[in-house]
Amino acid sequence: MVCNTKSYEVKMAFLAAFLVLGTMTTVNSVEHSLTYIYTAFSKPVKLPGIHEFTAMGLLDNRMIDYYDSSVQKKIPKQDWMKERLKQEYWDKGSQSRQSKQQWFKVNIDILMNRMRQTSNDTHILQWMHGCVWVAAADAAFQTKRKWDDVTALKDYTKGYLEKECMEWMDKF
């Protein structure tokens, strides 16, 4: 989703990619979901609580971890996560989120250029992931096709969703 900001007025426009992927699994006959949401702005927005980049993990729609570009650390949002997961998990998670922050910055620039948008406005790229690629806006299809054609990305994503994601569901 891309938004143009003029003053403090935000006008929403479906312009970039809003990729939705959902992960659902059944554990002991109960359905659970594990979702990650990433949101990046093309430039700093001077509004309280709005960061240039944020990422969060949700288990059954409850936030379990959080990262933003100001703090630059993945932090637990549930006490049981603090107790069960070692510091190494949080350190690696912080590094991963820092890499994703850079990836989003590069891709916002690519999308703005592709759609002939100016840097005068503020643009937002938001990505949720899980199991199925969905390009919600027509402009997102070109990016989706490009990413689907990258064998290494496709293999990594498939492996993550089928193996690693399920392991995290078990652990959480």
Cβ-in-10-Å burial (0-12, 13-18, 19+) of 21 comes to middle
Q: What does the alpha-carbon distance between residue 18 and residue 126 come to, in Å, rounded to a whole number?
A: 6
Q: So what's the pLDDT on residue 78?
A: 96
Q: So what's the pLDDT on residue 121?
A: 87
Q: Are 62 and 78 in contact (CB under 8 A)?
A: yes
Q: Are 37 and 127 in contact (CB under 8 A)?
A: yes
Domains of the chain by range and CATH? 2-171 (3.30.500.10)
Q: So what's the pLDDT on residue 116?
A: 87
Q: So what's the pLDDT on residue 163?
A: 84
Q: Are 125 and 53 in contact (CB under 8 A)?
A: no
Q: So what's the pLDDT on residue 159?
A: 83
Q: So what's the pLDDT on residue 146?
A: 80
For the whole model, what pTM was predicted? Answer: 0.66
Q: What does the alpha-carbon distance between residue 133 and residue 111 come to, in Å, rounded to a whole number?
A: 18
Task: Supply 151's token pair.
Answer: 């064998």
Q: What does the alpha-carbon distance between residue 105 and residue 38 come to, in Å, rounded to a whole number?
A: 12
pLDDT (tens place) for every residue of the chain, 172 residues total:
333 333 222 222 222 222 233 333 333 445 778 899 999 999 998 899 999 999 999 988 899 999 999 999 999 999 999 999 999 999 999 999 999 999 999 999 998 888 888 888 898 999 887 647 445 677 777 777 787 788 888 888 888 778 887 787 777 6
Task: Supply 46's token pair.
Answer: 């001077």
List pLDDT tens digits, range 34-43: 899 999 999 9
Q: Are 101 and 40 in contact (CB under 8 A)?
A: yes
Q: What does the alpha-carbon distance between residue 143 and residue 61 come to, in Å, rounded to a whole number?
A: 27
